[in-house]
Amino acid sequence: MIVYLIKRILASVGVVLAMAFLVMLILDLVPGDPVVIMLGENATEDMVRELRRQLGLDQPLLVRYVQYIWKVVQGDIGRSVREMAPVSKLIGDAFPNTLLLTACGMFLTLLIGLPLGLISGAKSGSWLDHSSRITSLAGLCMPVFWIGLVLMFIFSLKLGWFPVGGTGSWLHLILPSVTLASYSVASLARMTRSSLLEVMGEDYIRTARAKGLAYRAVVVRHAFGNALIPIVTVFGMQVGHLMGGAILTETVFAWPGMGRLMVGAILDRDYPLLQGTILVFASCYIFINLLVDLSYGLIDPQVSGK
Amino acid sequence: MKNVQADSSAKKGKSLTRRRALRRFIHNPLSVTGLLIVIVLMCVAILAPVISPHDPAAQHLFDKRSKPFGKYVLGADQFGRDILSRLIYGARVSLFVAIVSVLIALSGGIIVGTLCGYIRGVVDAVLMRFMDLLLSFPYLLLAIVMVAALGTGTMNTTLAIGIWALPTFARMVRAAVLTITKREYITASQAIGTPSYMIILSHIIPNFVSPVIVYATLFMANAIMIEAALSFLGLGVQPPTPSWGEMISSGRNYLMTSPHVATTPGLAIMLAVLGFNLLGDGLRDALDPKMKVA
C-alpha cells in the first residue's frame, strides 16, 4: 500500500511538471510578441528589450522551464506584470476565497445530490423519482452563470435577502455556492440513481430481500456500499467541474477569487500571473483526483490488493 | 452458393438490428423530443436571414431595452437591437462552433485513436500519455489556456473547444480499436495479406461508429455550453457577433431594470443543450442499451 501511495504521488508530481511545461509551450505559440502586446504599440525598443529580459523571455523555452520550476520549488512564481506585485501574493489573497467557495459547493453537492439520487434510485418510478430526474436534467442543461444571474435577480435584487456580490459575511456565500453546486448536484444525483439501480438488480440484493430484510436496510446496507465506486468517481470529476464553474461564478458575483484573477490575466496578457493561476488550479485538481483514487482502496478492498 | 446465402442473411441481420434500433428510438418520447429540438434549431440557424423579424445588428435607439411582447416579441437590448433576431443569429454561431469543433475533435480523435490502437508500441505510449495530460486539466481550463494562446474570436474558440475534446474521442476510439483488433476476423484478414489501411477502413472504423456518434451528439451539448461560458467571460465570440453567452454577459449590467436582456439567451442555451442531451441519450439507448457514456 505504501509503495502504491508513493508511486501515485510521484506520478501526480510528474503530471503537474508536464502540465507546467505544456502551458508554457502553448503560451509560447502565441502569435505576435507577448512583450509588445503587454507594453502596447507605443513602447520603445529599449522598453521591450528590458521587459523581455525581466520576464526571461530572451532565453530558450527549455531553459526558461527549468528556471521556472526551480523558482517555483523555492516558492517564487514570478511577478504580475499588471499588478506589479508578486504572483504568489495575488494568488495567496485569492486562493482562500476560491477554496471556500469550492468547498461549500462540494458540501452542497454531497448534501443535496447524494440523497436526491438515493431516493430517486430506491423509489424508481415514483413521483419523487420523476421530479428529481426532471430537476437534475434541468440542472445539467442550464449554464452556471445564467443560474447565478437568475438567483441574483430573484433573491438579491427583487427580494433583497442576499447581497448582490462581493465577500464579507456568510450571507455573501450562499448564492454563489448554490450557483456553483447546481451542475454537480444534478450530475451526482443522476449517477447515484443509475449506479444504485444497477446494483439493485444483482442477485445478492434479491437474496437480502428474500431473507426478509427491510427494503430500507437493503438499500442502505447492501446496495449503497456497492454502488459507491462510480459515485465517488463522478464526485471526483465534479471537483474539476466545480473549479471551472468557480471561474464563472466568481465573475457573476464579483467574488475575489482565482477565477477572476485568471480571466483578468488573460484579458490583460499578464502571462506570469496566468501561468501561476493555471499551475495552482491544475495542481489542486490533480491532488484531489489522487485523493479520489486512494479512496477507492478504502471503499473496495479489491482495488488496494492490486 | 452457400457464401451468398450467408452474406444475404448477414445483411438481413444487420438491417434487422438497425430497424430495432430505430424502433427503440421512435418509441422513446424523450429522444424524439430531443431530435425535434435539434431539427428546429438547425432550421432556425439555416433560415436565420429569412425568419428573423429584424436585422440583428440594427440599433433602434428609441427602443433601448424595451419590454418583451411590445414592438419586439422578446424586447430589445441595451442598444435597441431586437433580442429575438439576435437569438436566431446566435443559434447560427452556437451551432457553427459546436459542429466544427466536433468535426475537429472527431477527425483528430479518430486519427490518433486508430493509430495508437492499431500500431501500438512507442507511438501509442507517447501519444496516449499526451492525451492523458490534456485530460488532466480541470473542466474549462484547457479551453481557457488555448484561448489565451490563440486569442479570442469565433474561429479560435472553435479550435480551442475542438482541441479540448480531442483526447476523449481519441481514448474512446483507441479502446474500441483495441477490442476489435483482438477478434479473429482481423487476424484472418491480416493472414490473407490485406493491407493495414484496408483493414482499418473496412473493419475497424465501422465498428466504433455508434459509440462515437453517441458521444459526438452528447459533446455538441458540451460544446454549446463551453462556447457560451467562454463568450460570457469575454474570451470567446466577440461582439458585435451575436452569441448567446456574450448576450448574457452584456445584459447583466441591466439586470435590475431590464432582466429580460440577460435572461432570455439563457433559455436558448438551455433548450439547445437539452435537445442535444436528449438526442444523445436516446441514440445511446437505441444503438446499444448496454453502452455507458459518462
State pLDDT tens for residues B150-196: 878 888 889 989 988 899 889 888 888 888 877 888 888 888 888 88
Q: Which residues of A touch B224 (CB under 8 A)?
A: none
Q: For residue B27, give the DSSP letter.
A: T
Measured between CB atoms, does B135 come within 8 Å of chain A?
no
Q: pLDDT band at A306, cuts 50/70/90?
A: very low
Q: pLDDT band at A16, cuts 50/70/90?
A: confident
Residue of B131, B140, B157 to mutate for A, most A C-beta atoms under 10 A: B140
Residue B290's pLDDT is 56
Residue A289's pLDDT is 81
- Minimal-distance CA residue of chain B relative to A15: B133
d(CA A10, nearest CA chain B) in Å: 15
Q: How far apart are CA B150 and CA B235, in angstroms?
A: 11
Q: Model confidence over A248-280: pLDDT tens digits?
A: 898 888 888 888 888 888 887 778 888 888 888
**For residue A5, what is its C-alpha cell?**
501511495
Q: pLDDT band at B52, cuts 50/70/90?
A: confident
Q: Which residues of B touch A146 (CB under 8 A)?
A: 248, 263, 265-266, 269-270
**Where is pLDDT greater, at B115 or A125?**
B115
Measured between CB atoms, does B269 come within 8 Å of chain A?
yes
d(CA A137, nearest CA chain B) in Å: 8
**Where is pLDDT greater, at A186 or B240?**
A186
- State how far the alpha carbon of B186 is from the alpha carbons of A287, B197, B203, in Å: 41, 12, 8
CB-based contacts of A283, cutoff 8 Å, min separation 6: A16
Measured between CB atoms, does B190 come within 8 Å of chain A?
no
Q: Which residues of A touch B146 (CB under 8 A)?
A: 26
Q: How far apart are CA B93 and CA B227, in angstroms?
A: 9
Positive/negative CA dihedral, A266, A271, A273, A277: positive
Residue A48's pLDDT is 76
Burial class (CB in 10 A: 0-12, 13-18, 19+), A197: middle
- pLDDT of A299 strictly over 90: no
Q: Which of B133, B221, B233 sits opposite A251 (nearest CB)?
A: B233
Q: Which of A29, A252, A281 sits opposite B149 (nearest CB)?
A: A29
Q: Which of A252, A274, A282 sits opposite B137 (nearest CB)?
A: A282
- pLDDT of B294 strictly over 60: no
Positive/negative CA dihedral, B224, B226, B232, B234: negative
**Are the beta carbons of B274 and A263 separated by less than 8 Å?**
no
- pLDDT of B135 strictly over 90: no
Residue of A266, A271, A273 to mutate for B, most B C-beta atoms under 10 A: A266
CA angle, A176 as apex, A171 and A182 as ends, to 5°? Answer: 130
Measured between CB atoms, does B35 come within 8 Å of chain A?
no
Residue B101's pLDDT is 93
Q: Which of B141, B232, B270 sits opposite A142 (nearest CB)?
A: B270
Measured between CB atoms, does B144 come within 8 Å of chain A?
yes
**Are the beta carbons of B270 and A140 separated by less than 8 Å?**
no
Closest to A284 (Cα-Cα) out of A69, A77, A16, A7: A16
Q: Which of A27, A244, A278 sits opposite B139 (nearest CB)?
A: A244
- The structure's pTM equals 0.84
Q: Which of A27, A244, A248 sits opposite B232 (nearest CB)?
A: A248
**Are the beta carbons of B232 and A145 separated by less than 8 Å?**
yes
Residue A200's pLDDT is 78
- pLDDT of B69 strictly over 50: yes
- Minimal-distance CA residue of chain B relative to A233: B294
Minimum mean pLDDT range among A56-70, B31-45, B65-79, B132-146: B65-79
- State how far the alpha carbon of B164 is from the alpha carbons of A87, A100, A187, B24, B233, in Å: 27, 28, 21, 32, 17
Q: Model confidence over A134-171: pLDDT tens digits?
A: 888 888 889 989 999 898 888 888 787 877 777 777 77
Average pLDDT, chain A: 81
**Are the beta carbons of B228 and A143 separated by less than 8 Å?**
yes
Residue A33's pLDDT is 64
